[in-house]
Amino acid sequence: MTLTQLRYIVAIADAGLNITMAADNVHATQSGISKQLKQLEGELGFQVFTRRGKSLDAVTPAGGQVLERARSILHEARNIRALAANLREEAHGELSLATTHTQARFVLPEAIARLKQHYPELSVHIRPQGEGRIISLFESGEVDLVIVSTSGNAPEGGIAVPLFRWYRRAVVPLGHPLAKLNRPLRIQDLAEYPLVSYESSLQPESSLRKAFAAAEFTPRIACTSADADLIKTYVLAGLGVGILAEMALAPSDSRELVALDIDDLLPVCTSWLVLRRDHVLRSYVAQLARLVAPQIDDAELRRVVAGHADAHWPKPPLWSELQQRNVRRAATRAA
């Protein structure tokens, strides 16, 4: 029995018993996987999967028990490799993460650039996704970690580490009537215009819809996108008032757009780093967490992820506070 054989049967199960898909996922050949499966079943003395003709049909009861233990063994094998790499202070590896377009475009570039300075041989694979797809990629094992935002409870599916809090902004073209109001915006002001917002705004449980419902209004969603740059583009095209994350606004946007404060209208959001439980954390993952959120303690993060301590995270700072720290740090370096 080999780790490769165990990896192959888990890949088959995760691919819905499709050997061709499993082979693609583990970069093997279909014939190679079939041969290893046959050898493993021969050693075990029973079938892991039932057959229908030449196709796999179902997981046998005994096969289900084997798969459960195979996953545990593979998990611990990955932990041993990660532990060894940390002890050798290896500067290479692969990091795959899923997050929203906004985080990938406006939050991570500087952190990833600084991470690469410490780990020049590290390959980073970023998969921008809509909110609804991110956690599913994590749960299926397709990515190592995710960064996702909520306006309420922490995301489920792993260890959620709060990184920072942020507010949304209403965005309108220069000269728009809302930009000329000499008072704070109200929900009824926004209700008078079609909105251009994130895809999550379509969900009944979205905080945007709840805020409108609390004021007895219904938002008119004219257009949605997962990409904040597209939201700004369609606002400029006249489709409506944009609602987007504050970090998605660059100084250059002020040439064409006006950002309006709506902190009192919509709840604050929190961005979370979600990691796997009972996992040996690679050093570059801990470094990335600190680069995005300096308040995170490296030692505590490692203990919590390894299952050796309960989480007691510090209150995450506001995005605006992080930006002010970055400005002061840059000024200090320049001096």
What's the pLDDT band for 93 if we cut at 50, 70, 90?
Answer: confident
Q: Are residues 149 and 115 in the same domain?
A: yes
Q: What is the mean pLDDT of residues 239-258?
A: 96
Is 163 part of any domain?
no
CATH number for the domain spanning 125: value is 3.40.190.10
pLDDT for residue 317 is more than 90: yes
For the chain, the farthest-separated pair of C-alpha atoms sits apart, in whole angstroms, at 79
pLDDT for position 149: 94
pLDDT for position 74: 79
Name which of 135, 128, 14, 31 is nearest 71 in CA terms.
Answer: 14
The helices-and-strands tally (H runs, E runs) of the chain is 13, 12
Domain boundary among the residues 43, 63, 86 is at: 86
Is 162 part of any domain?
no
pTM score > 0.75 for this model?
yes
What is the tens place of the pLDDT at every residue in 149-201? 999 899 988 999 999 999 999 999 999 999 999 899 999 999 999 999 999 99
Between CA 129 and CA 132 the distance in angstroms is: 8
What is the tens place of the pLDDT at every residue in 201-235? 998 889 999 999 999 999 999 999 999 999 999 99
pLDDT for position 172: 97
Q: What is the mean pLDDT of residues 240-249?
A: 96
CATH number for the domain spanning 77: value is 1.10.10.10
- 74-110 burial, b for 16+ CB within 10 Å, e for fewer? eeeeebeebeebbeeebeebebbbbbbbbbbbbbbee
**Distant-in-sequence, close-in-space partners of 97: CB < 8 Å, separation ≥ 6:** 124, 125, 126, 127, 143, 144, 145, 146, 147
Is 268 part of any domain?
no
The pLDDT mean for the chain works out to 90
Based on the structure, what is the number of domains in the chain? 3
Q: Are residues 217 and 240 in the same domain?
A: yes
Name which of 230, 154, 235 is nearest 194 in CA terms.
Answer: 235
What is the tens place of the pLDDT at every residue in 250-294? 999 999 999 999 999 999 999 999 998 877 688 888 899 999 999
Q: Are residues 82 and 95 in the same domain?
A: no
What's the pLDDT band for 308 if we cut at 50, 70, 90?
Answer: confident
Distances from the Cα of 185 to the Cα of 21, 153, 169, 217, 221, angstroms: 52, 27, 11, 15, 18
Q: Are residues 241 and 281 in the same domain?
A: no
Q: Are residues 21 and 79 in the same domain?
A: yes
What is the tens place of the pLDDT at every residue in 32-57? 999 999 999 998 999 999 988 888 98
Owning domain of residue 50: 3-86
Q: Are residues 179 and 250 in the same domain?
A: yes
Q: Are residues 45 and 130 in the same domain?
A: no
Share in percent of the chain as helix, strand, coil (round to 5):
50, 20, 30
Q: Are residues 144 and 290 in the same domain?
A: yes
Q: Are residues 119 and 60 in the same domain?
A: no
Is 324 part of any domain?
yes
